[in-house]
Amino acid sequence: MPENGSPRTEPDGSDREAARPAAIERSFRTSIVYAPEAPAALIRRFSGEIDPLLRNGRMLKDGDRCTVVQIDAAGGSFVVKRYNRKGPLHTAGHLVLRSRAAWCWRNACRVLGAGLATPAPLACRERRVGPFRLESYLLTTYVDGPTLLEYVRSGDAEPAGLEKLADEFGRIWRGLGALRARHHDMKATNFIVDDERRLWMLDLDGMRTGLSGPRLRHARRVDRERFMRNWQDWPEVADRFRARIDTP
């Protein structure tokens, strides 16, 4: 971040349709894009040695694909996500292509622009060697609440609450349709239920927008089938969601 605390503001130029005001810093070894509204002290920490943030945060997920921690900083709660290398071929592909963190940044901007809920992207960082991308990291706001699967599994969901969640998902489904998008990983664990029974989408690195024709129809069918598999043990819940998905 610039020493005077006033970042250079410009669109993230790789995709103007998905652009939001962002400050961009690039060097031979790193690239950082961050939202001007992000707390300056937090961006300085994210721009520096990042391992302490991961070590000292509360672990939310420690998987093969990514490591996710919650941190408390700058008077709020945030999430730091590190995208882990998966193997030689996958790593080689992402050396020159857009990183998974960059895909998440781009897609979150599009989702928010469509009026759908996802944790706000605050910063995207790539470790590089010149044009080649190595590790990538994403910083977002933190949304508290159970996953949709946890909420349904708990047995505490009343019919009115489930109806509202079904309506919420129907709105998300139509919104993705308007974006001509696939989510690509519609597990119930990729949705958070907040205190107001609002649904927030997570894990947007596999999302692709602007699809058309047979490709879009196939993608929507795969998303639908994946989402409905979540409810094989809850037929009444499945009926509620199915009704919203199948309503034009």
**146-189 pLDDT tens trace:** 999 999 998 777 888 899 999 999 999 999 999 999 999 999 99
Quickly count: other Cβ atoms within 10 Å of residue 25's Cβ: 16
Torsion angle in degrees (nearest 10) through CA of 131, 133, 137, 140: 50
148-245, which class in CATH?
A: mainly alpha
- Whole-number Å distance between alpha carbons of 197 and 181: 24
Structure tokens at 166: 């079904």
Residue ranges of domains in the chain? 9-141, 148-245
pLDDT at residue 95, rounded to an integer = 53
The 30-34 sheet, strands edge to edge: 9-11, 21-26, 30-34, 121-129, 132-141, 76-83, 66-73, 58-62
- % of the chain beyond a pLDDT of 70: 85
Burial code (b: 16+ CB inside 10 Å, e: under 16) for 116-129 equals bbbbbbbbbbbebe
Structural contact between residues 65 and 84, judged by C-beta atoms closer than 8 angstroms: yes
Q: Which residue has the higher pLDDT, 141 or 161?
A: 141
pLDDT at residue 207, rounded to an integer = 97
pLDDT at residue 98, rounded to an integer = 76
Tens digits of residue pLDDT in 27-64:
767 889 999 999 999 999 999 988 888 999 999 999 88
- Whole-number Å distance between alpha carbons of 74 and 135: 25
Q: pTM above the 0.75 mark? A: yes
pLDDT at residue 198, rounded to an integer = 95
Q: At residue 94, does pLDDT exceed 60?
A: no
**H helices present in the chain, as ranges:** 40-47, 51-56, 88-96, 100-113, 148-153, 159-178, 213-229, 235-245
pLDDT at residue 130, rounded to an integer = 62
How many CA atoms does the CB half-sphere of 211 hold within 13 Å?
18
pLDDT at residue 11, rounded to an integer = 32
Q: Tell me the average pLDDT across 193-215.
A: 95
Q: Which residue has the higher pLDDT, 82 or 88?
A: 82
Judge residue 103's burial from the number of C-beta atoms within 10 Å of its C-beta, 0-12 exposed, 13-18 middle, 19 or more buried: buried
What DSSP assignment string belongs to 106-152? HHHHHHHHTT---PPEEEEEEEEETTEEEEEEEEEE---S-BHHHHH
- E strand or H helix at 206, and its extent? none
pLDDT at residue 15, rounded to an integer = 45
pLDDT at residue 247, rounded to an integer = 82
- Whole-number Å distance between alpha carbons of 168 and 69: 27
Residue 17 gets which letter from DSSP? G
The residues, ordered by sequence, that sit 6+ positions from 1 with a Cβ below 8 Å of its Cβ are: 7, 23, 25, 34, 40, 43, 44, 47
